[in-house]
Structure 1
Amino acid sequence: MNRQFLLTSLLLLTSLGCNRLDTTYLSYRGESINGVRVFADILRDKGHIVDVWPSMRDQLYYGYDTIIILDKTNTHPSEELTAELLNHFEMGDAYEILYVGRDLDVTPHYWESIAQRLKETNQPEEAVKAMNEARQEMDSQMSRKSGDTDDENDPIIFTVKKNRTAIETLEQINLISFDEDAEESEDEQQSIEVDCDWRISRTMVPVEDAEVIWTDEEDEPLLVAVYHEYMTIYGMSSAYPLLNGALTNPSNRNVVDELDNLFVPDGKIALVTSGRLLNSENEDSQMWRFLKVFPHPWIVGQLFLFMIMFCLWKFPIFGRPRREEYQDLKRFGTHVEAFGDLLKLTRQRSFAIKKIREWKARQSMTQRHGVKN
């Protein structure tokens, strides 16, 4: 209740010109009406541990039960992101991944609300300015939308979204459920209506093996699921009901409640505020990427420690001294062998032969003088 009051106060203060309106999309810090801080706090209030990441990265492979990807683009997952999600199916720990596409944000609705409030307070000129702001924002967002285009990339959850004939405000969504105990018939599928305040301008086209979980009043899909062996990937058409400004409406909190029912209870959630991959803009070497993925750092660290211990044991300067065999230094042959070893270290054959000849010459002279004496 306090969080809702603060956001409502923010809207009122902004309308009076006390603050500059922050409309940064998917911002976690600050007071953006299009941010996701309230959404993250609601998940924390429900018992989840929520970490917010600005992009997809290798750290998300391990330690998270749920990964929520809020994409800033207007199309389905990119080819790079699709490949990353497929890697999560094989290597990741997450039980479910929720991919949320982008449609409208809260900004046009905000200016329309301001215009209505100004009309009620007999400020027609300011109301016209606010409506102009709303139209400009809506035109900007509609021009940013992608049309019905084909893509060579095989979709993983849904393709590009088809534009609707008009912008719609959904007041209810239908939650599709299946009665496992019922016989196979049309009555097996059940629908539960949930109140919301969800503005939407286009519809996603799910892949063939996707199961529709949420629909609007015209049975257009809003949330779909594709089940894999160890993981489920969900696709949501729009992040509108998850934004700060939209969550000031209590009915949109129903959407978050129903979304939370899909997640692991009290699990650890990674909230990614873009579909961008970290390595797409900051390429790392393959070795560095390998070292950043658990448990590779532990393995490499133990190998490095083993190498240090081996060096301390092997080299006599650092390790235990070697035991040399005892040699009788009084034996003259020992000196000759030592002299030969020294000459061998020089690796100069001519020099060694010269020294040996000089030594033999001195020995001959010594023997001759000894005979004369």
Structure 2
Amino acid sequence: MLRSTNLLLMVVVVASLLLTGCGQKSSYLPTAYGKRAGSASASVNGTKVLSEMFRTAGYWVKSYSAVSPNLLRNDVIVWVPNSYEGPTAEFREVIMRWLDEQDGRTFIYIGRDFDASIQYWDEVLGKVDPAQKLDAMRQRSLAIEEFDELRNYTSKEADYYFYKTERDVPRRVARPLSGPWAKGVDASKTNIVLRTEMFPATKDSLYEDYNEQDEDPAPVHTVEDVEVLLGSKGETIVARLGSEYSDSQLILVNNGSFLLNLPLVNPEHRKLAAKLINQCDQEYYPPESVGFLETDYYVEIRQADDVAEGTSGWEWLTKWPLNLVGLQMAWWMIVLCFALYPIFGRPKQLPAAETADFKKHIDSVGDLLEATDDYAYAQLRLQQYQQVMKGDSVYRRSKTRRGDGK
């Protein structure tokens, strides 16, 4: 069971912020797609709420911008691309080999064909003041225009091996719902908007180009069974591709109309998101970490970890031959600093200065007379002192300067 108390409070706050900012300009509505961290996490198209649901379920969650060894160390990968293009052949091979390496892994793909900002302005139109309704309609039209312009640059039909897509279909709301995930969900209260029809691969299509004689065949044996987890009127919304011999799986989601920040304000959508998270929890191989892969049109595949080179200033200590000599020098420098500068132990008490020593008084007066750099004046002061000690009258120098008298 998901511990959802804190999550529900967060969702309520998100909902109140989104639905009370009706009269604000579009610049105040963050619409960045597929981000869960940073300033874009508050976007209506973000994945912050979904990632927090994973975190509440006990997963470690982190974001990645490229495919790297760091990403492939996770047990679950959630790919939320800001692009209508599916996985390339190179990316598919990397993911399939990652699924084959260890049981209990899950790869989740969330399609792009949805924009929560349109849903936001649809809800705003029913709550905005009449004086602001015209501006809300204009913002909604701009959101639809931007979304349609993005869709027009994609092909109407595409084949990505795991699934096929067809975009030349009308917009529709998925009702009623079918499949294992539909149990316990009130379909009348959901708002799953579909624009693209997704056709998961079949077992025959997966093995169509498979040749047992190949020395290094494509690792397709991870995927043998195809199951529709959520559908509507024979159309696939969520599909699972797996195998009876392995607990690793691929989960294909048509779009994020029930998984992004704004849609997850709906309690029924949160039930579906919880079913997605529970689907990742394998019985014999419980996952521990989730990586959110956030990309645009191009998925970068790196052979090294995502590290920033040359930012700490100490990288030279790791390069040969400086790593051998430099580390020893650094060690001895640290020892030298500890030997010269710090004070160890309790501080010593210095002896107090004696104020009753007449010799120190004489030395101080001598230093003052020497500082005047006037030999005659010093002799005069010494004579005055001797006369005082004898009891004679004392001659004192006149305070009138030369030339000042009459």
TM-score in terms of structure 2 length: 0.59
Shift of 1:106: 0.4
Structure 2 partner of 1:8: 15
Amino acid at match of 2:199: V
Shift of 1:101: 2.0
Deviation string, structure 1 residues 279-313 (Cα, Å, up to 9, x no partner): 3xxx66xxx67x9xxxxxxxxxxxx9xx98xxxxx
2:169 corresponds to 1:165: yes
Amino acid at match of 1:227: G
Shift of 1:237: 1.5
Structure 2 partner of 1:357: none
- SS of equivalent to 1:110: helix
Shift of 1:168: 1.2
Q: Any conservation in 1 of the 2:242–2:249 contact (CA below 8 Å)?
A: yes
Shift of 1:122: 5.9
Amino acid at match of 2:97: N
1:104 to 114, 123, 132: 114
Cα distance in 1, alignment partners of residues 102 and 20 from structure 2: 44
Cα distance in 2, alignment partners of residues 244 and 59 from structure 1: 26
Q: Quick check: 43-52 or 88-97, which moved more?
A: 88-97
Amino acid at match of 1:169: V
TM-score in terms of structure 1 length: 0.63
2:227 to 212, 220, 231: 212
Cα distance in 1, alignment partners of residues 137 and 78 from structure 2: 39
Deviation string, structure 1 residues 167-187 (Cα, Å, up to 9, x no partner): 11225532248xxxxxxxxxx
- TM alignment of 1:320-339, pairs within 5 A: none
Amino acid at match of 2:292: L
Structure 1 partner of 2:155: 146
Shift of 1:3: 1.1
Structure 1 partner of 2:346: none
Amino acid at match of 2:183: I
Structure 2 partner of 1:222: 237
Q: Which has the higher strand share?
A: 1
Query: Equivalent pairs: percent with the same residue?
Result: 18
1:156/1:138 CA distance change after superposition, 3 Å: closer
Structure 1 partner of 2:270: 253
1:61/1:273 CA distance change after superposition, 3 Å: same
Q: Any conservation in 1 of the 2:231–2:238 contact (CA below 8 Å)?
A: no
Q: Any conservation in 1 of the 2:76–2:287 contact (CA below 8 Å)?
A: no
Structure 2 partner of 1:24: 32
- SS of equivalent to 1:15: coil
Shift of 1:113: 1.5
Deviation string, structure 1 residues 12-41 (Cα, Å, up to 9, x no partner): 454222761110001222211101111101
- Structure 1 spans left out of the alignment, 5+ residues: 178-190, 292-303, 309-373
Shift of 1:200: 1.3
Deviation string, structure 1 residues 147-174 (Cα, Å, up to 9, x no partner): 114x5xxx44212x11253111225532
Cα distance in 1, alignment partners of residues 62 and 151 from structure 2: 32
- TM alignment of 1:1-373, pairs within 5 A: 1-17=8-24, 20-28=28-36, 29-30=38-39, 31-62=42-73, 64-91=74-101, 95-118=105-128, 121=130, 123-149=132-158, 155-159=160-164, 161-163=165-167, 165-176=169-180, 192=183, 194=185, 195=187, 196-209=190-203, 210-228=225-243, 229-230=245-246, 231-264=248-281, 267-274=288-295, 276-279=298-301
1:243/1:201 CA distance change after superposition, 3 Å: same
Cα distance in 2, alignment partners of residues 80 and 72 from structure 1: 19
Q: How many residues align?
A: 274
Cα distance in 2, alignment partners of residues 56 and 34 from structure 1: 22
Q: Quick check: 94-103 or 163-172, which moved more?
A: 163-172
Amino acid at match of 2:171: I
1:132/1:98 CA distance change after superposition, 3 Å: closer
Q: Any conservation in 1 of the 2:121–2:136 contact (CA below 8 Å)?
A: no
Structure 2 partner of 1:334: none
Q: Any conservation in 1 of the 2:22–2:136 contact (CA below 8 Å)?
A: no
1:266/1:46 CA distance change after superposition, 3 Å: farther
1:61/1:165 CA distance change after superposition, 3 Å: closer
Cα distance in 2, alignment partners of residues 54 and 94 from structure 1: 23
Q: Any conservation in 2 of the 1:39–1:242 contact (CA below 8 Å)?
A: yes
Shift of 1:91: 3.3
